Amino acid sequence: MRLVLYEPDIPQNTGTMLRLGAALGVAVDLIEPCGFLIDDRRLRRAAMDYADFLDLTRWTSWRRYSEAGHAGRLVLLTTRAAQPYTEFAFAADDRIMVGRESAGVPDAVHDAAGARLVIPLRPEARSINVATAAAMVLGEAIRQTTLSMIARR
């Protein structure tokens, strides 16, 4: 399983998701450009002391990422989806993608996803923080895939 960050805008959210991936043992793909300056020093600061065990792959563009031939489904978290993440059967090789805080993902990325999931919210709520969304859905995906692995033993 992997967490995919599409052109993140806010360094604090990116740092939170990098730490999330490191702490849970989930690899992270960072698709650039980012909405902030990013270099090794800034990445290490954002990931704090988790950087040493973070499995991070940086991609210079969506085109390079999409042409790389990844295993598993691309599962996009989006407010434009109809299927709640709680009603989705995750697989261990899924790539869970979150979009930019300011704009989500463009239609071409949306269309490339093998599945599109939404976090059900109250009607008056527009969205939740992208790092919070990533943690909720990644937690459910790990729960499902870990339980299915235990059941097969």
Q: What gap in Å lies between CA 133 and CA 137, rounded to an integer?
A: 6
Q: What gap in Å lies between CA 65 and CA 42, rounded to an integer?
A: 22
Using CA atoms, how far residue 27 sits from 3, 77, 81, 96, 121, in Å, is 6, 17, 24, 11, 28
Q: What gap in Å lies between CA 72 and CA 117, rounded to an integer?
A: 16
**Any binding-site annotation on 119?**
yes
Longest dimension (CA), the chain: 46
**Any binding-site annotation on 35?**
no
Q: Please state the residue numbers annotated as binding site.
A: 77, 99, 119, 127
Q: Please state the residue numbers annotated as binding site for S-adenosyl-L-methionine.
A: 77, 99, 119, 127
